[in-house]
Amino acid sequence: MLLRLLHPVAPFITEAIWQKLNEVSPARGPGDEPAERLLATAQWPMADARAIHPAAEKDFALLADLIRKIRNARTEHNVLPSRKVAVRVEAAAAEAATIARNVDLMKSQANLSEVTFSTEAEAPPADSAAVAAGGVKLYVLDIIDRPAEIARLAKQAETLRRGIASIEGKLSNAGFLAKAPAELVARERQRLASLNSDLSAVEAALRSLQG
């Protein structure tokens, strides 16, 4: 399959490898069928529906977003790459379970020393940077310059409000609702719910820092 995918961008080397494979393992098709004589005329790989896992893709997107935002927080607050930091996660049971199953991955990719969990909203820890993704609120502990963090969160809140206003404008437009495919409308509503959730988390973090 890899040779078939690479053939359009590296035709000569992939064809040479294909011919060598034909010599040593000619029956390598599905059900041990003979492989095509030429890679150039071989069938293009077909997607296997059994390999598509929407739940896993959703979990991966959440983890990738959190890791990216933790890394961004480290950079924004000038945390040395070698320094390990601890985080506290506030999330519903399902999202907390996803993170717990992949906690070693998060520790390695964001250079974390400890990950603790809470399913209840608690007072934000002092001097901690807040990030939000997919309804999850996460605090990167003991890295914050408070005035700078208030400014960062205020800017993030404004960006979220602009995104919310844009989507609300679409969804209140009768022409858009009439012409757009149902899948697109559903996706926009899902984005709106996610942005509203993120905005609530950011505003809560702002209130705690300003209070």
In degrees, to the nearest 5, what angle opens at C-alpha 165 toward C-alphas 194 and 152?
Answer: 70
pLDDT tens-digit map of 77-123? 889 999 999 999 999 999 999 999 999 999 999 999 999 998 777 78
Least confident of 4-18, 21-35, 54-68: 21-35
What pLDDT is recorded for position 71? Answer: 96
pLDDT of res. 9: 94
pTM reported for the whole predicted model: 0.58
What sign has the CA pseudo-torsion 39, 42, 44, 50? negative
Q: What is the pLDDT of residue 27?
A: 83
Tens of pLDDT along 153-180?
899 999 999 999 999 999 999 999 999 9
